[in-house]
Amino acid sequence: MAIDVRVPTILRSYTDGQKAVEATGDTIAELLTDLDAKYPGLLARLVTDDGALHRFVNVYVNDEDVRFLGALDAKLGDGDTVTILPAVAGGAVLGGAVAGGAAALS
């Protein structure tokens, strides 16, 4: 089934500047794999080498954050809309744990 995917500005370099694209899949993982086939490089910006959703990105199915729906295993149905937003976070903490993250989305 075709799922409408909303892409944030920072990732549109991968989608030929398109704000919304279509992809197919029964789960978020399948959807992102299909997206990556159409727009190579996108997957690595969203999923870590360990196969988990990146800390630097929020992914929603309709109104719900996929972190509450099983993350990459979140199920998709006909007519669902997936929205990708870069996480807005930060702060004064000196975080070695998140260093190098800018490259994750840019």
Partner 1 sequence: MLAIDAAILEAIVAHARRDHPDEACGVVAGPVGSDEPARHIPMENAARSMTFYEFDSHEYLRVWREMDDLDEEAVIIYHSHTATEAYPSRTDISFAGWPQSHYLLVSTREPEVTEVRSFRIVDGTVSEEQVRVVNATVDSMAVQSYMFGQSPATVDYECRA
Is residue 91 close enough to count as binding partner 1 by CB under 8 A?
A: yes
Where b means 16+ CB within 10 Å and e means fewer, 18-40 reads: eeebebebebbbbbbbbbbeebe
* Closer residue to partner 1, CB minimum distance, 14 or 60: 60
Q: Which two tokens stand for residue 77?
A: 């149905």
Is residue 87 close enough to count as binding partner 1 by CB under 8 A?
A: yes
Is residue 15 close enough to count as binding partner 1 by CB under 8 A?
A: no
Q: The sheet that has 20-24: what strands, in order across it? A: 20-24, 2-6, 81-86, 57-61, 64-65
Is residue 106 close enough to count as binding partner 1 by CB under 8 A?
A: yes
Q: Which of 16, 49, 50, 63 binds partner 1 (CB under 8 A)?
A: 63
Binding site for partner 1 (CB under 8 A): 8-10, 56-58, 60, 63, 65, 67, 83, 85-95, 98-106
